[in-house]
Amino acid sequence: MNLILLSLILIPATEIFLLIKIGSQIGAITTILLIFTTAIVGVYYAKYEGLNTLKSGFEQISKNKSPTYEMITGAAIAFAALLLIIPGFATDVIGFLIIFPISRNFLLEKFFGKFKNKKKETEKNNFIDGDFEDIEEEDDSKI
């Protein structure tokens, strides 16, 4: 089954299940207030981290370096803010994991580590083994 289609089914089902379970334990009003609180706190913290990343990117540009890491981090923060805006507890946990710098760096290393290993394998195997022989102009029979 397609991963996107499976995600479209499983994520809302998980969120509904968690909302029902947590709502039955702490109450409906408290659950709704908790959802709004995590969204508001998450978006403000995402704004804070995004501004720090933007500042770091400008510092890299002023040093005539490419702000590649800052661009990837900024995209991760934007994705985390989106997850925090979506109502639910599972997406909030994932969003907060991406927002905090320590866990974000760990997740990005794991995610991009897979691509680095594949790149190294292709670089190692990027050669052709063969023999060659010099052919002089007088010896046209070998051509």
pTM score: 0.73
Domain range list for the chain: 37-123
- 49-105 pLDDT, tens digit per residue, is 999 999 999 999 999 998 888 999 999 999 999 999 988 999 999 999 999 999 988
Contact 45, 39 (CB under 8 A): no
SS (H, E, C) 50-112: HHHHHHHHHHHHHCCCCCHHHHHHHHHHHHHHHHHHCCCHHHHHHHHHHHCHHHHHHHHHHHH
**CA distance from start to end of the chain:** 54
Q: Distance (Å, rounded) from C-alpha 20 to C-alpha 3?
A: 25
- State the burial class of residue 95 (Cβ atoms within 10 Å of its Cβ: 0-12, 13-18, 19+): buried
Q: How far apart are CA 33 and CA 21, in angstroms?
A: 16
Residues 17-40: what's their mean pLDDT?
93
pLDDT in tens, 34-52: 999 999 999 999 999 999 9
Q: Say if residues 46 and 80 touch (Cβ distance below 8 Å).
A: yes
Q: How many residues does the chain have?
A: 143
Region for residue 50 given its phi and psi (left: phi exceeds 0; alpha: psi -120 to 50; beta: otherwise): alpha
Higher per-residue confidence, 67 vs 128: 67
